[in-house]
């Protein structure tokens, strides 16, 4: 499965996105929301994986307002430094504008319904996407800073799944508990906890990758999308 780069037109300008389609050429859509490393191989592989499952996947360049075309890894100190600089400059509310534009671009290519899945920074944005857009279902992996925007959950209208890493170095136990306590009674929210895992346990090739829990989380994600996007 291989994709291509397309142009997404938003209200504040145009930016790129990586598009991957299933062999049939059609299916429900999924917006893939990047980590702090840009639209890199990990994100492109994720879009291709979803396309192989029958989804039209589109991963937008959410750093375009800061620096377009970021494509770095988690494998060097220099890349980590760059990634955190970008993370520090990124504004979630303008990111939401771009995600809405991505949904609007993607939906006409699909059979109708569009979901979102995000990781790290993208996990937070997947939560915000669930709260503040017309997405049909959303999944966040180890989202950072969700606890700062829990009031937004009152706007949830469609299903949300969160994967929480119990030993997440970027989301302390208090923040995790705050998220769980605030959201667990919401009938639209499903929370899965992975007590022994650290941040980015589903990132293939990452320092904290755990194949067993990554596979379980991914299978839960696919079942969730199958239920809500069919």
| Alpha-carbon separation of residue 192 from 9, 62, 77, 81, 223 (angstroms) | 35, 26, 31, 30, 13
Q: How confident is the model at residue 191 (pLDDT cuts 50, 70, 90)?
A: very high
pLDDT of residue 46 exceeding 60: yes
User: How far is the C-alpha of 123 from the C-alpha of 127, rounded, in Å?
Assistant: 6
What was the pLDDT predicted at 124? 98
Q: How confident is the model at residue 226 (pLDDT cuts 50, 70, 90)?
A: very high
Label residue 219 exposed, middle or buried (CB < 10 Å: 0-12, 13-18, 19+).
Answer: exposed
Q: Report CA Rg, the chain.
A: 16
What was the pLDDT predicted at 1? 57
Q: Where are the chain's structural domains? A: 4-229
pLDDT of residue 2 exceeding 90: no
User: How far is the C-alpha of 111 from the C-alpha of 121, rounded, in Å?
Assistant: 28
The number of residues in the chain equals 230
User: How far is the C-alpha of 124 from the C-alpha of 147, rounded, in Å?
Assistant: 9
Q: How many CB atoms lie within 10 A of CB 24?
A: 9
What was the pLDDT predicted at 15? 98
User: How far is the C-alpha of 49 from the C-alpha of 186, rounded, in Å?
Assistant: 30
Indicate the angle between helix axes 121-132 and 92-106, nearest 10 degrees: 70
C-beta separation of 103 from 113 below 8 A:
no
What was the pLDDT predicted at 196? 97
Topology adopted by domain 4-229: Rossmann fold (3.40.50)
What was the pLDDT predicted at 123? 98
pLDDT of residue 189 exceeding 80: yes
User: How far is the C-alpha of 185 from the C-alpha of 197, rounded, in Å?
Assistant: 24
Q: How confident is the model at residue 147 (pLDDT cuts 50, 70, 90)?
A: very high
pLDDT of residue 47 exceeding 80: yes
Coil, helix or strand at residue 58: strand
pLDDT digits (tens, 9 = 90+) for 63-121: 999 999 999 999 999 999 999 999 999 999 999 999 999 999 999 999 999 999 999 99
Give the mean model confidence (pLDDT) for residues 191-200.
98
Residue numbers annotated as active site: 168, 199
Q: How confident is the model at residue 155 (pLDDT cuts 50, 70, 90)?
A: very high
Mean pLDDT over the full length of the chain: 97
User: How far is the C-alpha of 217 from the C-alpha of 187, rounded, in Å?
Assistant: 20
What was the pLDDT predicted at 166? 98
């Amino acid at each position: 499965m291989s994709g291509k780069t397309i142009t997404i037109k938003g209200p504040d300008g145009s930016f790129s996105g990586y598009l991957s389609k299933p062999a049939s050429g059609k299916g429900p859509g999924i917006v893939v929301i990047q980590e702090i490393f840009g639209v890199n191989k990990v994100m492109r592989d994720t879009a291709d994986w979803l396309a192989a499952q029958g989804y039209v996947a589109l991963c937008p360049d959410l750093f375009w307002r800061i620096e377009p075309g970021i494509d770095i890894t988690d494998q060097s100190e220099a890349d980590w430094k760059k990634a955190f600089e970008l993370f520090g400059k990124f504004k979630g509310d303008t990111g939401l504008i771009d995600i809405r534009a991505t949904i609007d671009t993607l939906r006409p290519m699909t059979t109708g319904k569009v979901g979102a899945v995000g990781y790290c920074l993208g996990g937070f944005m997947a939560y915000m996407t669930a709260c503040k857009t017309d997405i049909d279902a959303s999944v966040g992996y180890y989202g950072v800073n969700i606890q700062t925007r829990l009031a937004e959950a009152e706007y949830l209208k469609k299903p949300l799944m969160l994967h929480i890493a119990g030993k997440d170095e970027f989301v302390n136990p208090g923040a995790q508990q705050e998220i769980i306590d605030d959201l667990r009674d919401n009938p639209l929210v499903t929370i899965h906890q992975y007590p022994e895992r650290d941040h980015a346990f589903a990132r293939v090739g990452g320092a904290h990758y755990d194949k067993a829990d990554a596979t379980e989380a991914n299978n839960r994600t696919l079942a969730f999308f199958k239920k809500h996007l069919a």
